[in-house]
């Protein structure tokens, strides 16, 4: 069964305190792994796509990595404006997308 699990469910960081979010997946025929940011009351906003193990993508304070079974979203020296829910999704063979339940990140000034 195709499945995406994110951990932790919630994370509180002090401003400047780096950390990582985890997305583990089991899927038949991974076509892509996606990271999104979602602010309260808004639709998810695309961050990264990763296609193969070993691939890395960076954007400002965020860096996404991919292995054969999981992906990490590393947040370096976070700021309060990085507070949001971060969603992971996988695209399986057959073109369906499966989302995790997200990690709610709060960065305290």
Partner 1 sequence: DADVTQTPRNRITKTGKRIMLECSQTKGHDRMYWYRQDPGLGLRLIYYSFDVKDINKGEISDGYSVSRQAQAKFSLSLESAIPNQTALYFCATSDLSLETQYFGPGTRLLVL
- The nearer residue to partner 1, 42 or 68, going by C-beta atoms, is 42
Q: Give the residues across from 12 on adjacent strands.
A: 106
C-alpha 44 chain-centroid distance: 11
- The nearer residue to partner 1, 43 or 54, going by C-beta atoms, is 43
The correct pick among 13, 25, 34, 65 for binding partner 1 (CB under 8 A) is 34
Q: Does 41 bind partner 1 (CB under 8 A)?
A: yes
Q: Does 45 bind partner 1 (CB under 8 A)?
A: yes
CB 58 within 8 A of CB 47: no
* Residue (of 38, 35, 91, 101) closest to 63 by Cα position: 35
Q: Report how many residues bind partner 1 under the rule CB under 8 A.
A: 23
Q: Give 60's DSSP letter.
A: T
Give the separation between CA 65 and CA 77, rounded to whole angstroms.
17
Interaction mask 84-103, partner 1, x per CB under 8 A:
---x-x-x---xxxxxxxx-
Q: Kindly list the residues in this chain that would bind partner 1 in the complex (CB under 8 A).
A: 4, 31-32, 34, 36, 41-46, 49, 87, 89, 91, 95-102
């Amino acid at each position: 069964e195709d499945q995406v699990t994110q951990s932790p469910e919630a994370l509180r960081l002090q401003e400047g305190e780096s950390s990582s979010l985890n997305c583990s997946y089991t899927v038949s025929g991974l076509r892509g792994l996606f990271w999104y940011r979602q602010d309260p009351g808004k639709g998810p906003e695309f961050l990264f796509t990763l296609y193969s193990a070993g691939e890395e993508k960076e954007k400002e304070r965020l860096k996404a990595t991919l292995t054969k079974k999981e992906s990490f979203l590393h947040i370096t020296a976070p700021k309060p404006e990085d507070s949001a829910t971060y969603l992971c999704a996988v695209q399986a063979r057959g073109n369906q997308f499966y989302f995790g339940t997200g990690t709610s990140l709060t960065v305290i000034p």
